[in-house]
Structure 1
């Protein structure tokens, strides 16, 4: 399965693509960041972000998209930008008929490091090890996007089976 992970952000939106099957280590396909100018208007930034994500979807042809679930932070402005970037990624994937999964930061950290309270450096270190890379992807947004994709690769099928078994009851 090929998964595109998105660490949403208005200025830097991390994108990472991994491929794998259960029982085998995932493989890095591509990683990068979609950037928008901080001095541009919100509309222009969202259009640029959509164009960047669409280009990644077209080039990488993922089978699923994993996006970081926006959670409440102390800085409302940061939350709003993250939520807007997240919505752009979800919409772009849905337009293509791709399944979208939302994973919380603590869920991703637990999947990658074994601790839901791991810091960014620990996540980057484990992404580097899991994907057998020579160095951690930079910036941190890129590494976080790969962590999201790996988390979904490892947890997504089980979550889908659980949801099907519950018949939508949650």
Structure 2
């Protein structure tokens, strides 16, 4: 499953593309940070971000797009920029018929590190580990975009069949193991509710 993750921002927009196999193994395809200067007119900044997103969509043909969900901040200008870039990304994805998911920062942190309150350094370190990179992707917007893509793939990808023997639990990262345990717990608790109806 190829996922394009977006950490939306007007000054810096992180875009990370990963391939994730059914056993949750992730591989880096490309990571880019699109930059626009604050001195540029707003419409030109959005056009620049949109053009680069469309180039990446067409070059890599992702199966899905994941965007960090806008959340409340003190700085209204930052929230507006994030919302505007998110709208550009949603438009570009919709034009191509791509499914889009929005993930909160805590969802992304929990998926990648196993801990919803992890700090940025922990997320960046786990992204590098999951993707087998020698160094943490920089700037932080790059690592965040990759984390969003990994989060979506892990949440949406079906678990490998147990009979296939493809996944050894000892080979999972702590975050992968925590996520798998949470999925099993959710499935197990859902069965009695369905039977009770």
Q: Same fold (TM over 0.5)?
A: yes
Counterpart in the other structure of 1:123: 123
* Deviation at residue 157 of structure 1 after TM alignment: 4.1
* Deviation at residue 24 of structure 1 after TM alignment: 3.8
Q: Does 1:97 align with 2:97?
A: yes
Alpha-carbon separation, structure 1, partners of 2:70 and 2:45: 19
Counterpart in the other structure of 1:152: 152
Counterpart in the other structure of 2:43: 43
Alpha-carbon separation, structure 1, partners of 2:52 and 2:81: 16
Alpha-carbon separation, structure 2, partners of 1:122 and 1:24: 19
Counterpart in the other structure of 1:136: 136
* Deviation at residue 32 of structure 1 after TM alignment: 1.1
After superposition, the C-alpha distances for 1:91-114 in whole angstroms (9 at most, x for unaligned) are: 101110000000000000000011
Bigger Rg, which one: 2
Counterpart in the other structure of 2:75: 75
Task: Report the aligned-residue RMSD.
Answer: 1.5
Alpha-carbon separation, structure 2, partners of 1:24 and 1:118: 21
Alpha-carbon separation, structure 2, partners of 1:104 and 1:43: 26
* Deviation at residue 20 of structure 1 after TM alignment: 1.4
Alpha-carbon separation, structure 1, partners of 2:119 and 2:24: 26
* Deviation at residue 30 of structure 1 after TM alignment: 0.6
Secondary structure of the residue that 1:30 maps to in structure 2?
Answer: strand
Q: What stretches of structure 1 move > 3 A for 4+ residues in a row?
A: none
Q: Does 1:60 align with 2:60?
A: yes
After superposition, the C-alpha distances for 1:50-85 in whole angstroms (9 at most, x for unaligned) are: 001011111111010000000111111110101101
Alpha-carbon separation, structure 2, partners of 1:24 and 1:99: 20
Gapped runs of 5+ residues in structure 2?
159-182, 188-197
Pick closer, same or farther for the CA change 1:24–1:77 going to 2, 3 Å. closer
8 Å contact kept, 2:24–2:154: no
Alpha-carbon separation, structure 1, partners of 2:121 and 2:90: 27
